[in-house]
Structure 1
Amino acid sequence: MKELISILDGNTFLVSDRHGDIEPSMDFPTGLFTFDTRFLSTWLLLLDGERLHALSLDDSESYRTRYFLVPGEPTHFLDTKVSVIRSRGIGGGFDEELTVLNHSGQELSCTVRIEMAADFADLFEIKDVQRKQGQHTAKVEENTLRMTYRRQAFHRETVVRSSAAATVDKRGMTFQIEVSPHGEWTTRLSISTVIYGARGEDARAQLPLTGTRTMAAIEAEHAEFVAKAPKLGCDCQPLAGAYRRSLDDLAALRYESISLGVRLLAAGLPWFMTLFGRDSIITSLQVLPFLPELIPPTLTVLAGLQGVRLDDFRDEEPGKILHELRYGEAAGFEEQPHSPYYGSADSTALFVVLLDEYERWTGDVALVKQLEFAARSALTWIDTYGDLLGTGYVWYQTRNPRNGLENQCWKDSWDAISYSDGRLPTFPRATCELQGYAYDAKLRGARLARLYWNDPAYADRLEREAAELKERFNRDFWLPDKEYYALALDADGTPVDALSSNLGHLLWSGIVDESRARRVAEHLLGPRLYSGWGVRTLADDQGRYNPIGYHVGTVWPFDNSIIAWGLWKYGFRQEAGQICESMLAASRYFEGRLPEAFAGYERELTEYPVQYPTACSPQAWSAGTPLLLLRVLLGLEPQGEHLIIDPYVPSGMGRVELLDIPGRWGRVDALGRSRTPADEVEPR
């Protein structure tokens, strides 16, 4: 797969090859995108009819890139008399400054051509090509090319303007240039995107952070975002690099919703630059100790879009928290159900978990009271629509067999849930971590009801239901002969016996019996699941194991952060530290930016973590991973009006110091140092 370079700011992002060119691709989306539509599908630079080759590029910042290019094949680079610099930045649309440099003592005459096209493809069309039903037009104006797509009320436009005189046609711009000896020629190309609303104006006009901004304004905003976070000082360079890269990526992934008017975190580039219930909640849990101000908009929007009716097309049910919200043509014309789509069986319980965790850190009682109805509705969903078979468990089965997701847990690819021999279970399915989330949600809901909703009877009921669920779960999901919890139950109640990373989510939720916790930890760090770089999604002796299979053998950083948190909660500090250490070691090979997933090969086999071919990067819950790992290393836990700090830093990591940790206690500092053999204490 060719190397791809991306820049992003909010919901607008651009993906190109390492030369800066954009061409339509079936394998991976290149182009300029905003709000689920591709506004540029071709952006190809030619010098005297030839493609250019990259000497170097600077992509150290998320919102701008520079490419240093020359004509000819690599063997001719030393003899080149001309070079080209493409400097681009993004913010709503994008700007590209194109500079041609003449390195000879003779005047240079040449032709610069940029091929341009806008297919206005919906992101779903790129993944599953469909014939567009609207009308494309291209209009030539002075030094300007205006490309338009219209389908009934759906109206999008791309406008390209040049600061230098150009010959414009419907397929691009041509520049006949002359450059003096050792001189240079420059033009600035401005590409703006327009999303027309019902009144014939850009629907984003009232969103000040979505429109085109200067690079200086974007840089200042990113700097302000990073400055709000606690300051990290440490001896472990992978941790320092991953922490800073995570803050930068989280800053870049924020976007403003057209219809909702608040700043949210997009799930990941390129496929998931929008609001996802599960991803947004888990990312919020990861970043809460560092940037708590990100949480209220997420909770409020998810509550505002909470399901209120039965809608088979969208998998909507009363009380259910959404899975995914889209803005493109396919959603607008109900060719896809994502406006929004509710095919997630875990986001509803996780919503309650996040609301309680947020209050425990911040003391924001007002938000807890404001969202009481939404939280109660979510808890009701768990026991009603969530319990499809009336067995006391959360099950899932799509109501939309044509467009709905088959698997509605976090491992949502079609083959992610299987028996150990590789067979696929029937529907509905009840995966194990869904029960853990429900258990945790009930206990947290009970706490909120008792302390803030003035309903002790409801609190007592939720605690009783949680205890019954824990007892029932440990009876029905435990596999005595294998000594681990089943991945799921099938429609007949038969355990789906694959060994998977979901065990770590069970520890995090607290649903695991104390007597079985050690065996679960041993499985997670055992040779079948643990690759040396992290815990695989599926053990390497299972029927569907594939080290580069999306959910059947890869290592997911976010998954490992939850696993580390779960191990920590049950007192397995050394094991949690091992997960933290392996994730941070892996981050070095990705320049500090942990991807969505990487291959599950043994560490001894590859000596470096192998990139998953189509992993999202940056991705929000991968960007949040180093932050949660830092919380685990320092043992940060809110307790009333205080923050408990109980560090366990693995040997060799040295000093870890986090300053100005925000919360209901004001701001406090935490310090941890590497363990020595004398410090090791046997976990319970």
Structure 2
Amino acid sequence: MDYRVIKENDLFLLTDENGNIPEDHPYGPGLYTKDTRFLSKFDLKINGEDPILLSSEADKTYYAEMLLTNPHMEEEGDVKLWRESVELKRKRFIYGGALYESLRVKNYNPKQTSFEISLHLDADFKDMFLVRGFQSGKVGKKLETVINDTGLAIQYLGADEVTRKLDVKWDAVPDRITEKGDVHFSFTLDHGEEKTVSLTMVPEVDGDTPEQLDYKEAFQRLKDSYKEWEESSAKVSTNHSQLQRLIDRGLSDLRVLLTDLGHGKFPVAGLPWFGVPFGRDSLIAALQMLPFNPEVAKGTLRTMASQQGTKKDSWRDEEPGKIMHEIRFGELANTGQIPFTPYYGTIDATPLFLVLLSEYIKWTGDFELFHELEVNAGEALNWIDHYGDRDGDGFVEYHQESSKGIANQGWKDSGDSIVHRNGDYAETPIALSEVQGYVYHAKESMADIYKQLGFNEKADKLLREAADLKERFETSFWMEDQQFYALALDKEKNQVGTVTSNPGHVLFSGMLDEAKAKSVSDMLVSDKMYTGYGIRTMGTGEAGYNPMSYHNGTVWPHDNSYIILGMSKTNNRKQAAKAMEGLIRSADSFEYDRLPELFCGYEANGKAVKYPVACSPQAWAAGTPLLFVQSMLGLFPDAMKQTVRINPYLPDGVNDLKVENMKIGNGVLSLLVKKADDTHEIDIIENTTGFKVVSR
């Protein structure tokens, strides 16, 4: 990454590698909360000049550190400051709605040395959609900046009549402060002497002031919260060092991406631009985390239920029972200039809500949550049948109604992503293959829950509908000449026959028979679809194929993870192992062993090719190696049957896999799998779940 980003809860900071926020930078660095940039300029100078970067670390994503020094400063032969004589160390983190920064300066000059450090701050309070250039519109105005010796307050009154303020405090007396927000500190240090200035920056919305702590106490509380997260999550250890780093990185990044808007912790989609509730992304990331921390699924489900659609509103593509796509909280949303309040233009979030709910119940047996969300679940099922199926043909399809909405409303939501084999773009309404799988999965799983609770009539109805969908899907989507399923059906019910990764998601649903599941799995790891670093979104030779395209030939880790879990579930374990091996291999190409949102779909040739504007960290990419663990174990619990099914298959190079403190039911399961040749030995270390472990 050529940027640095840190986050905690609903506040994140995006800077350059020096730790600065350059003014008017096209990438939009800043301090953001509630979709508003509260800090649009923040740079540090020594004697009025930019320092030289020595190192910049942001591997933890909740804490960043930059080490800098001074350039040589000379005027008409008179040395003002010898090069590399002053060390500047910036440390920063976010906690409790505030940004904390510590600036330590140390003199390495043999003699006493005097110099000036200046900080230059400003806030434009721009809506994120304006920063990203996606929108123009009516905005508010800045108010007078309040300045005193201990800090300054930059203020703004929005077009939505909301007052926003950035309150900046420092713990040293500055030499001078200008009306522009330039703060100057003078230092005179002996050799080896050091001093520290600490700053606190607090965004406020309508007078809501977060708690402010001193630097050390805030940092300790932040570290304690990470320790608590680690202790409450399952722990994995393996001989494969790259896989180990991927898992550790994924679990750490998902902790960073957790946010709580009042309904429990859930993963936002990704940084820097999608740090908000995001229907399918948050739901899939929570699904990936079930083996590690099922509490996240609970928070995600409650958050999504709180925003479930209640009415027909074409401006927001809202319908009763529909689960949202994305919600925004900024000035443009508040004034109705964009439809994200929330926006509901997604075809898959509603069935995925039911998939996550049912899978969560299978892992935990937490029927209390089901009863809490039972009405929401019923409304989601009703949406599938009465709004999702727009024309009564038995398939769920999408069509954009909002003038500022999204045209393609599956996870491949680019305008060019649904393309026929002849290169023509499909016209809506469009029924996507993977969405039919999500619907089948939802109805089958919800039927199991209803049957467990004694609602046999509801259960039988859902099972009949699922069986009918399976039959219709086979007839309408199967392409005999390709031995594969179509990407979609267009508005004329013609197959969109391009070979893509989408049908791979149907594997996890259980809708495919054994032969078809094998055929799909084989295609996905064939030369047409497999790069050596993972499965492409679209196959080579297709009219729309482009290895640099966002959705038409790149590799998306989360897409692979859902496919891999389905391969494991359908006993296509060798294909799953091959896909995992490629993604594990790709991690060497990315900073901090962090799988990005996506990367280019070129054949393996030393390094995976980066996609230029991929989010990193990104929730469902971070969750991908976590889903590897479940897939390698072939582990599928079922609280209703009081069983845990396990069928392990470890990829090449993974000789042992140990998982401890995996929460299932009301207990924990810990186990060790060892591989010798093609056999796998299973050692159950601890089982307090009360479930029977069944090895296939």
**TM-score band, normalised by the shorter chain?**
over 0.9
For each residue in 1:156-176, what CA deviation from the matched residue of structure 2 results, as whole angstroms up to 9, or x when unmatched? 111122222222223221223
Q: Does 1:195 align with 2:190?
A: no
Distance in 2 of aligned mates of 1:456 and 1:415: 44
Determine the C-alpha separation between the residues in 1 that align with 2:333 and 2:396: 28
Amino acid across the alignment from 1:645: I
Q: Which residue does the alignment assign to 2:186?
A: 176
Q: Is the 8 A contact 1:418 1:425 kept in 2?
A: yes
Instruction: Deviation per CA, 1:574-602: give whole Å up to 9, x if none.
Output: 11111222222222333232111111111
1:125 aligns with 130
Tell me if 1:244 matches 2:248. yes
Q: Map of 1:87-486 to 2, 5 A cutoff?
A: 87-91=91-95, 92-127=97-132, 128=134, 130=136, 133-137=139-143, 138-151=145-158, 152-166=160-174, 167-171=176-180, 172-196=182-206, 200-202=207-209, 214-257=218-261, 260=262, 262-400=264-402, 402-452=403-453, 454-486=454-486
Structure 1 stretch displaced more, 665-674 or 15-24: 665-674
Query: 2:673, 2:263 → 1: CA distance?
Result: 41
Counterpart of 1:318 in 2: which secondary structure? coil
Q: Match for 1:133: what amino acid? A: V
Q: Kindly tell me: are residues 369 and 515 of structure 1, through their superposed partners in 2, closer, same or farther at Cα, counting changes over 3 Å?
A: same
Partner of 1:589: 589
Q: Secondary structure at the match of 1:186?
A: strand
Taking structure 1 as reference, are residues 447 and 430 closer, same or farther at Cα in structure 2, changes over 3 Å only? same
What is the aligned residue count?
Answer: 666
Alpha-carbon distance in 2 for matches of 1:376, 1:342: 18
Offset at residue 120 of structure 1 (A): 1.1
CA contact (8 A) 2:581 2:652 kept: no
**Larger deviation: 350-359 or 670-679?**
670-679
Q: In the alignment, is the contact (CA less than 8 A) between 1:11 and 1:253 conserved in 2? A: no
- Structure 1 unaligned blocks of 5 or more: none
Aligned partner of 2:657 in structure 1 is: 656
- Rounded to whole Å, the distance in 1 between the matches of 2:477 and 2:123 is 52
3-state DSSP of counterpart to 2:186: strand
Please give the alpha-carbon distance, in whole angstroms, between the structure 1 residues aligned to 2:451 and 2:285.
Answer: 27
For residues 417 and 670 of structure 1, what CA distance do their matches in structure 2 show?
43
The one-character-per-residue Cα deviations of 1:189-217 (angstroms, maximum 9, x if unpaired) are: 22111111xxx434x67xx99x9970110
Task: Check if 1:550 corresponds to 2:550.
Answer: yes
In 2, distance between residues paired with 1:374 and 1:486? 32
Task: Find the aligned partners of 1:240 and 1:94 in 2 and give their Cα distance.
Answer: 31
Structure 1 residues 137-146 or 440-449, which shifts more? Answer: 137-146
**Deviation digits for residues 488-546 of structure 1 (CA, Å, limit 9, x no counterpart):** 11111111111111121011222224332222112100112111110011112222222
Counterpart code for 2:256: A
Residues 286 and 625 in structure 1, CA contact (< 8 A), matched pair in contact too: yes
Take 2:178 and 2:260, find their aligned partners in 1: how far apart are those partners? 34
CA contact (8 A) 1:650 1:674 kept: no
- Is the CA contact (8 Å cut-off) linking 1:37 and 1:120 kept in structure 2? yes
For 2:532, give the aligned amino acid.
Answer: G
The one-character-per-residue Cα deviations of 1:370-405 (angstroms, maximum 9, x if unpaired) are 2222111111111111011221111101120x2111
Contact 2:310 2:321 in 1 (8 A): yes
Q: What is the CA distance between 1:623 and its match in structure 2?
A: 1.4
Counterparts of residues 629-668 of structure 1 (less than 5 Å): 629-639=628-638, 640-664=641-665, 666-668=667-669
Alpha carbons of 1:288 and 1:53: their partners in 2 closer, same or farther (altered >3 Å)?
same
Contact kept? 2:363, 2:637, Cα under 8 Å: yes
Q: Please state whether the residue corresponding to 1:120 is helix, strand or coil.
A: coil
Name 2:71's counterpart in structure 1.
Answer: 72
Q: Distance in 2 between matches of 1:323 and 1:106?
A: 61
Post-superposition offset of 1:132: 5.5
Distance 1:134 1:364, change over 3 A: same
Give SS of 1:437's match.
helix
Please give the alpha-carbon distance, in whole angstroms, between the structure 2 residues aligned to 1:228 and 1:93.
Answer: 25
Could you tell me how far apart the structure 2 residues matched to 1:129 and 1:337 are? 12
Q: Counterpart of 2:656 in structure 1: which amino acid?
A: R
TM-score (norm: length of structure 2): 0.91
Q: Is the 8 A contact 2:72 2:83 kept in 1?
A: no
Cα shift at 1:678: 6.9
- Partner residue in 2 for 1:511: 511
CA contact (8 A) 2:42 2:120 kept: yes
Query: CA separation in 2, counterparts of 1:505 and 1:303?
Result: 24
* SS of equivalent residue, structure 2 residue 230: helix
Conserved? CA contact 1:652–1:674, under 8 Å: no
Provide the C-alpha distance between the structure 2 equivalents of 1:360 and 1:262, rounded to a whole number of angstroms: 20
Residue identity opposite 2:124 in structure 1: D
Task: Look up the match of 2:21.
Answer: 22
TM-superposed deviation, 1:345? 0.6
For residues 398-435 of structure 1, the C-alpha deviation after alignment (integer angstroms, 9 at most, x for no partner) is 120x2111111111121111112332111111111111
Report if aligned partners of 2:648, 2:680 keep a CA contact under 8 Å in 1.
no
Is the contact between residue 597 and residue 621 of structure 2 (CA under 8 Å) also seen in structure 1? yes
Match in the other structure for 2:690: none
Answer yes or no: is the 8 Å Cα contact 2:429–2:490 preserved in 1.
yes
Rounded to whole Å, the distance in 2 between the matches of 1:457 and 1:105 is: 86
The 8 Å contact of residues 70 and 80 in structure 1, kept in 2 or not, is answered as: yes
| Corresponding letter in the other structure for 1:173 | V
Residue 78 of structure 1 and its aligned partner are, at CA, apart by 10
Which sits farther off after the overlay, 84-93 or 521-530?
A: 84-93
> What residue identity is the alignment partner of 2:405?
G
288-297 vs 391-400, greater mean Cα deviation:
288-297
Could you tell me which residue of structure 1 aligns to residue 54 of structure 2? 55
How far the C-alpha of 1:558 sits from its partner, in A, is: 0.8
1:55 and 1:68 in contact (8 A); partners too: yes
Cα deviation, residue 675, structure 1? 5.4
Alpha carbon RMSD of aligned pairs, Å? 2.4
Alpha-carbon displacement from aligned partner over 1:167-189 (angstroms, at most 9, x marks no partner): 22232212233233332343112
Q: What is the alpha-carbon distance in structure 2 between the residues aligned to residue 192 and residue 224 of structure 1?
A: 25
Where structure 2 has 5 or more consecutive residues not aligned to the other structure, the ranges are 74-78, 682-695
State the distance in 1 between where 2:305 and 2:459 align: 21
| Distance in 1 (alpha carbons) for counterparts of 2:449 and 2:426 | 37
Cα pair 1:9 1:62 within 8 Å, conserved:
no
Per-residue deviation at 1:261?
5.2
